[in-house]
A and B are shown apart, each in its own frame.
Chain A
Amino acid sequence: MSKTQNAIISSVRTVMGWVPAQWLPGGTPDPLIERRAAIGRQASRLDGPLKVAGEARFAAEVAMDRLCYAALVHSPVTRGRITRLDTGAAETAPGVILVMTHRTMPRIGTLPLIGITDLSAVGNSSIPIMLDAEIRYNGQVVAAVVAETQEQADHAASLIEIDYAIDAARTRFQDARPDARTPASLLMDKNHVSIGNAERELKRAPHRVDNMYRTPAQNHNAIELHAVTAAWEGDSLVLHDATQMIAPSAAALAKLFGLKREQVRVLSPFVGGGFGGKGLWDHQIVAIAAARLAGRPLRLMLSREGVYRMIGGRSPSEQRVAIGADAEGRFTALLHTGYSVMPPYGACPEPYTLGTRALYGARSFEIMQRHLDLDIVPNTFMRAPGEAIGSFAVESAIDELAHAMGVDPIALRLRNLPERHPISGAPFSQHALGQAYAEGAKRFGWDRRHAEPGTVREGEWRIGMGCATGSFPYARMPGANVRITLRGDGTAVIACSAQEMGMGTATVQAQHAADRLGLPLEAISVELGDSALPAAPMAGGSSQTASIAGAIAAAATKLAGELLRLAGNDSPIAGLRAGEVQLVEEGIASIADPTRRESYRSILARAAREAIAVTAAGSAPLEFLKFAMHSSSAIFCELRVSAVTGEVRVDRLLGSFDCGTILNPKTAASQFRGGMIMGLGLALMEETLFDERSGRIMNPSLADYHIPAHLDVPEIDVIWTGIPDPRSPLGARGIGEIGITGVAAAVANAVFNATGKRIRDLPITLDKLL
């Protein structure tokens, strides 16, 4: 991300500031905001019956004739090169079909890194994949064994002998600081923000806090392992993949293997959890290459250890947050700086300061991140990259300031809510954090909190309450296409390549399409998960719902035009133009005179058409360049800390969200809760143990990397303002990631309230509270 990019985006934003809102997408609020039937209704998941019966097919579950199995060998060395490679024993082991190493790997290029300019740029690393003898990180894949059965492949992989010449590796976070890089930009934003003289304001401030916060590396740990079933059919490739980027992967793989786009088909109808981790990594490419060499369809499912070794997670961070406030508690200085890891061959910064720009006003700002270069598996985005851990630092700091000032932490936050975006000055499209706090505090019983820490006790348990703000920006991606097929029997099929990882994509878009087309929900079916369908962007940045919704809206407009044309001159709607009609009650009608209408069935029957299909792309997502579009939340936590053991038990958790229209309360509540539970893990137990002596991850298993178990999870209360965002399709903003944000700080603040101990170093394990 370059200075050029900063210049381009900043000039586009400037232009957008002059363009009247009506000219932009979202300039006129989506009419469906006011006119809803299926949207907003509690709907069970359409794929529920398949999933509970174990009939939803995942990537490693496709049966194929002559299927063979692969196992990978990972480097146990962090930097160096392979000096001896003996594959003899493996090659002659029972059932082995072939062994692939850098000597035999087909020569291919490297993937373009994830970027914002090219949607098929989805690489997490620019390191050549098994093309040379160099080792750049511990866990890098160095060989693949293909055999008749998985057992044979696994065993043969253990027979490969490799010697390495070992070079010194950079593995220590603290040692890398002197060489830290300062990137020009973070995703779409400038990295360095400096308004006023924040250091001077901080020194002058009558109230201030200034502390360091640390968060460890974490891994996604979707329960489904990364897996592919790859089959070459002549020169065409069919890839059943567990991926959250179906169409982008297909495009990228076509380029990589020198194929035409139509020669690659990626299928991924169900993904067993992604959270940012299910992108395009080395294993798909190795599997595709090995399948080609073997001349047979091939299945590769990573071991759980393999996932840790070759799929990067969230970077560790060290963050300084300092806040200065005047006597009334108004922020005069807000400083957020720090370090995270991003090797030069990686693609994904951990943008923990981005959220800080939008939440609170201040007289002066100093915001900047630095990247450390370590020899590690390239880190990638993990649920709410940036905000998940940035909010821990900032929201802990605000709680510290409130305690130091003797004011209520909610009151302090509300005092500093900005009228407009504090950095860009852009108007908010919709923003009701104050209301979210008010409603959340009331429902949670915040007024029962004792401000003085360590004063509430029940037996050996100290009890405390805490709160924190969560936030996540709105995004809608370009390049979302949807096909609507309207059938003569009054049903419709919505089709695009989007992914279903548990967000309820099909369910919610069926609800949307029902309202958009004026059809009953039962009349809508949704096809997803196949790159042969109209291309949808990857699932990332909580953008999928809005992106597809925008495309459905565009396709519906196009459909209306088609219907008008098809209806011809003998229809009650003859002479109307696309802008003068709406799709309602299973037909098309004049907006001005609803009695002028004709049903879909009638139009199609008269035209002797079984179905009509239209494909359209969503409009360019310019709305969020003009408006500041952010979701926010107020998270409340009540917990107990054992005075004996330091164990923390969370008793109550409440999230009060301001995320625009809620499209399906049932699936939305689940997504909020899911994010909050991952937030509990972040707060209390999750940590990838990276041995800085060797550069090796030491807990590559679900037994040793703890994620919350049932007993760790209390009943979680979720409420929302439900105020539509007038600038987004359906008035909705994405909800997949905001749930995790703010939770760690709410927990840490509650721990402080319970014990008087401030933990600035995640996870909050019991030893820190003894």
Chain B
Amino acid sequence: MAIRINGSDVAVPDDARVSLLDLLREGLHLTGTKVGCNQGACGACTVLIDGQRVLSCLTLAAQADGRSVTTIEGLGSGSDLHPLQVAFIEHDGFQCGYCTPGQICAAAAMLREVEAGIPSYVTADLAAERLTLSREEVRERMSGNLCRCGAHNGIVEAILRVAAEHAA
């Protein structure tokens, strides 16, 4: 019984009610993952499980048993920032910084989804194998991450920049 979190094995808590979010924040002091609603309505708690973005507030820690979790702390820190983290600073993709880790985790997974050719609600041709990452596509795909300070333009800009650099 263990959850792999940022490369280290962590025991599943005894209390089955404990969410992955609470395990991270209260149990492990990995407070980069944020709580904004605790009900799946804001995206601040986004983490990656086996590479896919999910909401840690609605994931019971027990459900993550045997799986691999990456949080913002595992994505990059200090002098080893992820390109998205760098781009968020450069394009001012945040103000208060509270929704930011969730936005960045979501964006990291989202870029992989696009690479895999997975369409979105605004993709015109669902059967197409290749996607063009327009602004509208980024916005729709990031809509599960709310931001109240209104850093949306900077977030989209940062993501597009990283996507372009990656493609180049």
Q: Which residues of A pack against B, CB within 8 Å?
A: 44-45, 47-58, 60-61, 63, 149-151, 155, 220-225, 270-275, 301, 303-304, 501-504, 666-667, 669-671, 673-678, 701-703, 707-711, 713, 715-716, 739
Contact = CB atoms under 8 A, between A and B. Distances in A.
B80 to A, nearest CB: 10
A221 B42 CA distance: 11
Contact of A54 (B38, B42, B101): B101
A669 B71 CA distance: 30
Nearest to A275: B148
21 contacts: A45-B89, A52-B86, A52-B88, A53-B81, A54-B32, A54-B101, A55-B77, A58-B31, A60-B25, A60-B35, A150-B26, A151-B17, A220-B148, A304-B36, A502-B149, A666-B92, A674-B150, A677-B150, A702-B36, A707-B146, A707-B148
A48 B136 contact: no
Given A52-B94, A702-B42, A711 B99 contact: no
Nearest to B144: A709
Interface stretch (B48-56, B125-133, B153-161): B153-161
B22 to A, nearest CB: 6
A703 B41 contact: yes
A710 B142 contact: yes
Given A44-B92, A151-B15, A270-B97, A303 B38 contact: yes
Interface of B: 15, 17-18, 22, 25-26, 29-42, 44, 71-73, 76-78, 81, 85-86, 88-90, 92, 94-101, 104, 122, 135-136, 138-140, 142-156
A272 B96 contact: yes
A150 B96 CA distance: 25
Nearest 8 A/B pairs, CB to CB: A54-B32, A674-B150, A272-B98, A502-B95, A51-B97, A502-B96, A677-B150, A61-B31
A706 to B, nearest CB: 10
Contacts, number: 192
B12 to A, nearest CB: 14
Given A502-B149, A504-B95, A713-B139, A54 B22 contact: no
Contacts of B149: 273, 502, 670, 674
A275 B149 CA distance: 9
A52 B89 contact: yes
Nearest to B97: A51
Nearest to A666: B92
A54 B90 contact: no
Contacts of A49: 78, 81, 89
Contact of A677 (B71, B76, B152, B156): B152
Contacts of B76: 53
A223 B17 contact: no
A701 B37 contact: yes
A473 B25 CA distance: 41
Contact of A223 (B73, B85, B143, B147): B147
Contacts of B154: 670
B98 A223 contact: yes
Contacts of A670: 92, 95, 149-151, 154
Contacts of A274: 96
Contacts of B38: 303-304
Nearest to A675: B150
- Name which of A48, A57, A222 has the most chain B CB atoms within 10 A of its CB: A48
A669 B18 CA distance: 41
A434 to B, nearest CB: 27
Given A53-B72, A677-B152, A47 B97 contact: yes
Given A44-B89, A708-B150, 7 more contacts: A49-B81, A54-B71, A54-B73, A54-B101, A273-B96, A710-B147, A713-B152
Contacts of A711: 122, 136, 139-140, 143
A674 B92 contact: no
Nearest to B95: A502
B135 A715 contact: yes
A716 B92 CA distance: 14
Contact of B138 (A52, A222, A710): A710
A53 B78 contact: yes
A674 B34 contact: no
A756 B130 CA distance: 41
Given A45-B89, A667-B92, A674-B95, A715 B153 contact: yes
A674 B152 CA distance: 8
A149 B61 CA distance: 15
A702 B27 CA distance: 26
A58 B15 contact: no
Contacts of B152: 673, 677, 708, 710, 713
Nearest to B138: A710
B39 A223 contact: no
Contact of A150 (B22, B34, B88, B135): B22
B67 to A, nearest CB: 20
Nearest to B93: A52
Contacts of B32: 53-55
Nearest to A671: B95
Contacts of B33: 54
Contacts of B94: 45, 48, 51-52, 502
B85 to A, nearest CB: 4
Contacts of A150: 22, 26
